[in-house]
Structure 1
Amino acid sequence: MSSPEAGTDYINDNDNESIDKVTANSYGNLDLVDSEKECWMIRIPPKLASAWEDCPPGSVLGELVFRKGEKGKGPNLKKIKPSLEVDVDPNVANGSIGNGGPTSSSQQQQQLPLHYSLQAMTKKLPTLHPFSRNANGSVKIHGKVSRTANLQVVQDAKYRALCKSRILSTTVHNQRFVKPVDSNQSTGANTNKNKHMSTASNSTAKQGFGDAVHLFGKRLMESQQQQAAAYKLALSTGQGRNGNKRRRFAPEEPVKSIIFQLYEDKPYWTTKDLRAASGGRPETEIKKVLQEIAIYHRSGEQKNTWELKKEYQGGAGK
């Protein structure tokens, strides 16, 4: 074998293997050369991040534009705030980078917005260091995060047109099929459809909370009106609430005598019922007599009723 010429450097294949090989010295070794270099951490929309990730190394992803602010000179001129914007390269948005040709129709439908702005930028954040791990286990620190922000789409005319085209592409289809149908089938289908619509409308009306409350109140008012009408009818025909024949009293008969006679029918009365059964005698006179000969129940099963005192119960029963 001839010896190598002087001044010629040779790299052994074993040296390349040692670079990618994990060893005790390489694993966990920190490269802190760029640890103090300032960098920004930006939150990117998932679709844009995926498009940038698919681009080959060295591709132009876009441009970072800084717009200087300016104070309004006139009374009607608004103050222009400084802003940071990102203009994505059109080739990245269309997905043509790395594909070796123009975009297809399906790729054009999936175009990304091109104009973004940096929002919610802040310096108030904990100490963060982006890093990457090499194949041999060593770690390289790429810098120190000094700012964080969110990358948001600028809703301009182009973005609105893009959203409109997306909606149209997903809702409007050119593939339509027409199936001939007999007239009988068409008439039956329309009838069933009308029945279904009427049933659905009725069920919806019944299920409405406001309609249910209205219906309940209406039924309650009708019930109260029916009870009042039946009570008035009973007074006019001389019948009590239970359908029993009501006593008739002479106009000059004393109220106390009338009350004693009524207590022969049942032991408990309300003032309202006594007034109705007595032929409409004044309520003040009835209460005056009741306070003398009866006891008022304020609680219990016979609440709000009057009962004769024990010394009068024997006389009423005679």
Structure 2
Amino acid sequence: MEEGGSGNSGYVDTSKADKAVWLMKCPSVVSRALQSSSVPNDLPVAKVIVSIDPLCSDPEDPSIRQFTMELSGSDLGNVPKCFSMDMSKEIVPMSVFSENEGKITVEGKIHNKFDMRPHYDAIESYGKLCRERTDRSMTKTRQIQVIGNERPIIPMPGITHTQEKKKVVVKGSETKRTRRDRGEMEDIMFKLFEQQPNWTLKELVQKTDQPEQFMKDLLKDLCVYNNKGSNQGSYELKPEYKRSAEDQSGS
């Protein structure tokens, strides 16, 4: 069969197109073990053992044959040396191609597919392999690097000056706010709420020049806080104090 591409013409060798080929899905851990195996090139890296059930009457029964693969080599670590091969014939039609020095060859047609799984004799070594893989994935790689000849980080003079200036302002404002007598402050509060019915904490602190915590204690006893509505976030006198304030203003 002739094939053209990139301006060059070539041929695909299809003389072995009908040759039966087995497809084996090999786990990555097995693939790495086979590639790094110390087995000499002239010796097989594995062997497949076919077990046949002589008592099975149906020759087409897939269970009549059991396939097992045994890996060669003694340097596999915890990689299982024995695998069961589950055969399946219901596969999408596929062929195997190879390329050698620009020559493309059809090596055969896939008739059977095999899925590998650890044999029951190798469950213990496979369990060790899984634990090692889990431990490696959970281990965090930490590196300590010594940095030499580095100059220390010195804050900029402008930033330091700004921070110190802010501290001085806060201390000065707190020093000015001296607590007045509670009875005197209650009278001042009633007069302020006569001027307008709603005040925020910040407004009252600025208006009375009293410590914020002292104002909170007074508001807790004299006022209610508006959580919603048009006056949300402000305080107003409790109903009983509103009446007393109105009586005092009327008298």
Larger radius of gyration: 1
TM-score range, shorter chain: 0.3 to 0.5
Q: Which has the higher strand share?
A: 2
TM-score (normalised: structure 2)? 0.41
